[in-house]
Chains A and B, each alone.
Chain A
Amino acid sequence: MSSTTIAAPRRRAGAGLRLAPYLFVLPFAVLFVWFLIAPIFVAIGNSLFRETSSGLGFGSANETVFVWFEQYAKALQDAEFLAGFGRVLLYGVVQVPVMIIISAVLALLFDSALVKGKRFFQLAVFLPYAVPGVIAALLWGFLYQPSVSPLVAGLRSIGIPADFLSPGAVLWSIANVSIWSYVGINMIILFSALQSVPRDMYEAAKLDGAGELRIAMSIKIPMIWPAVLLTTLSSIIGTLQLFNEPAVLKTITSNISSDYTPNMAIYAASTTANDPQLASAMAILLGLATFILSVVIMKLTTRRKGVNQA
């Protein structure tokens, strides 16, 4: 008797607790499903079809035929599409470490007592992040064009024949734009992580005779390792998705082709070639590649950390 009277309100309270979180999550879930999950399934569905016509194509009805994985085969046989992957991987191997190292060095500098005018310099480093990627590429675009660039003129006057837009240099000119844009935000993430490191650890290290450099390498970096991993991962994902900077710089140099990066190839397939099915297959492949690469890097880095701890 008494047990039922106790059980009843408890059940009611329990039901309320179980429902509330879902209600709070609902707006996010609806948007997430509608704008992220659903498009993925639409793309998968699209990628299994091919639109076909006949004769000259005039007046004949267009048909959509189910072709299994034909579009994927076509995408994987597209040498330029695959070359785009090679290009962004090469770009990533250089750009990501350079950017993360610069960010980490800056974060460590700002965290140490060495820097004067800390607020000003932090803002100065962060400011480029507030400039939209397209605008950043436009700005740098001016600095890369020989006849209008003070940078090129300056380098040439001291005997360096700079050509930022040559076939060999243009990839690194793109990398420079994104390093300039994203060093600030990565620095902020690493700097915030450093703030949560207990200060008494530094004191203990100092008492043990460690200098600033030793503290940075042996305490600070290992303590903020998850943050380093996070910034590295998101940078790698950003690398594979590379689009804005090369697409803008393409307007000033033809050394960036219309399928220079995987994302540009997808854009070209859906607009220029008017082939949304092929573009869908390419997009799925790019998504898979990003996913696999992220998992591999996560595994590699966590294992290394495990070894260090042992």
Chain B
Amino acid sequence: MARTRKGLVAVLAMLTASGIALTGCSAAGTPDSSEPTKLNVWGWVPGFEDLVDEWNEKNPDIEVDFHRMTGDDGEKVKAAVDAGAGPDVVQLSTHDLPEYVIADRVQDISEFTGDIEERFTESSWASVSFGDAVYGIPQGIGPAGMMYREDIFAKYDIAIPTTWDEYLEAARAIRAADPNVYIAGFSPSEIGQWMQEVWQAEGSWFGIDGDTWTVSVNSDENKLVAERWQQLLDEDLVAVTQMWTPEYWAQVNAGTLATVSYAAWFPVQLAENAADTSGLWKVAPLPTNAGESFAGESGGAANVVLKGAKNPEAAAEFAAWINSADETQDRLISVGGLFPSTLTGLDSPELTSEQEFFGGQVINEVFIEAAKNTPNTWVDGPAFSTASAGITDGFAKVAVGEKTFVQVLDEVQEATIAALKDKGLNVKAGS
């Protein structure tokens, strides 16, 4: 007993001694100012690792360490930044950006961005800038198009709708021709499909008037979309179904949904989850509002420099390079699956390749056109997630006939204004 205890003490002493020795060693081995700046970068774009390696080769003085975000990493970022342990650069949905700005979790990088604004489309740059401040570098956008089953439209001799009025007619015609087929599904939980049509109608949920936030969840533009959706629902022209569920994909595969209107990143999902329907689909522009030619958009992502970053200049430099340099564009599109927010990216031949799933159509021609025709009226604001959750919860009630779209918008308008007041912000109802 005594012997083992002695032995233990000896081991402990040895460990302690070696620990001290190691510490001493590393302290002595630390080089001085020539050590490179280290950046921790979090994101979820596929193939980012290769681009980071390329950066590290070219820039020995700024060493980037990339962490791929999965699961609830998005939620972890907030806590990590607040605890002073966050990464330097993180990928973020631009809808979430204002909440990050107000919670003081991101840095203004306008002094480092110079004239790279010119490399980006107007609307994507607008999504990261608030007044004179710039809070991130755009990283892909989501222009909308209408994926449709060419065979179904051909079978019943129905023209592909180009306006929302024609869409309503087509919806009635499809339903009349085959009672099992709907022109589209209505997924109350899918906020992106709502936003893209509000965006198309030159609407927004938020705005800035001087030093006051305006909230316009129930504006005329929002109500225009609400009335359209209400009519489709009331006439039983859309199938209520929740997107991304096995039930949803079963319906898509069974050919009971003739169109899906969504962003440029959706075709990949469609091809993956409805492989058996290959060759039956085509992409057309999102139908337009009467007298307008605008396209829609559901939002993009950005690389932002977080509060804890000790060298915001290096961080901004990296974020700018990876997202806007000519040499990164092709790989962001082909490997990363991004729809580019840069002008060079939009001109990339990679973007205009033929898609087998869509019968050889160059589908991105539609999305490129959409990106050019997207209004820049959309403003993201604080309490975005409160508004978004209120709308999806409310739309579920609409789907079962307990409320109307307009009622939900009015309720969420009130709730969002209350949420902003709660945070002590200046807020008023917008029009």
Contacts and interface: CB of A to CB of B under 8 A. Distances in A.
A252 B242 contact: yes
Interface in B128-157: 130-131, 133
Given A53-B423, A55-B426, A147-B250, A254 B242 contact: yes
Nearest to B383: A273
Contacts of A272: 385-386, 389
A253 interface: yes
B280 interface: no
A145 interface: yes
Which one of B247, B251, B395 has the greatest number of beta carbons of chain A within 10 Å?
B247
A51 B400 contact: no
Nearest to B427: A56
B393 A259 contact: yes
Given A142-B246, A145-B245, A148-B246, A57 B386 contact: no
B102 A53 contact: yes
Contacts of A252: 242, 245-247
A58 B245 contact: no
A271 B386 CA distance: 10
B393 A258 contact: yes
B212 interface: yes
A81 to B, nearest CB: 13
Interface in B189-216: 189, 208, 211-213
A268 B426 CA distance: 24
A116 B321 CA distance: 73
A167 B400 contact: yes
Contact of B389 (A51, A52, A251, A258): A258
A146 B245 contact: no
A302 interface: no
Interface residues of B, number: 44
Contacts of A56: 102, 130, 208, 211-213, 425-426
Contacts of B247: 145-148, 252
B242 A253 contact: yes
Given A147-B251, A147-B254, A254 B425 contact: no
A255 B400 contact: yes
A142 B250 CA distance: 12
A54 interface: yes
B85 to A, nearest CB: 17
A268 B103 contact: no
A147 B180 CA distance: 13
B400 A274 contact: no
Contacts of A53: 102, 423-425
B425 A55 contact: yes
Interface string A21-65: 000000000000000000000000000001111111111011100
A257 interface: yes
Contacts of A275: 422
A51 to B, nearest CB: 7
Contacts of A257: 393, 396
A271 B133 contact: no
B101 A148 contact: no
A273 B245 contact: no
B393 A145 contact: no
B419 A58 contact: no
Interface in A252-292: 252-255, 257-259, 268, 271-275
A13 B348 CA distance: 86
Nearest to A256: B396
B188 interface: yes
Given A58-B130, A146-B247, A254 B188 contact: yes
A51 B213 contact: no
B423 A52 contact: yes
B399 interface: yes
A254 B399 contact: yes
Nearest to A268: B389
A66 B104 CA distance: 20
A65 to B, nearest CB: 9
Nearest to B189: A254
B347 to A, nearest CB: 34
B133 A148 contact: no
Nearest to A62: B104
Interface in A207-261: 251-255, 257-259
A255 B385 contact: no
Contacts of A258: 389, 392-393
Nearest to B253: A147
A145 B399 CA distance: 17
A214 to B, nearest CB: 49
Contacts of B101: 57-58
Interface in B90-133: 98-99, 101-104, 130-131, 133
Contact of A254 (B254, B383, B395, B422): B395
Nearest to B256: A147
B385 A274 contact: yes
Which one of B98, B383, B422 has the greatest number of beta carbons of chain A within 10 Å?
B422
B246 A145 contact: yes
B32 interface: no
Given A53-B425, A56-B426, A274-B385, 16 more contacts: A50-B422, A51-B423, A52-B423, A54-B425, A56-B102, A57-B102, A58-B102, A142-B246, A145-B245, A145-B247, A166-B400, A254-B393, A258-B393, A268-B389, A272-B385, A275-B422
Interface of A: 50-59, 61-63, 142, 145-148, 166-167, 251-255, 257-259, 268, 271-275
- Give 8 closest A-B pairs by Cβ, nearest first: A52-B424, A57-B102, A254-B396, A147-B250, A145-B247, A254-B188, A257-B393, A55-B211
10 contacts: A50-B422, A57-B382, A58-B101, A142-B246, A145-B246, A145-B247, A146-B247, A254-B188, A257-B396, A273-B383
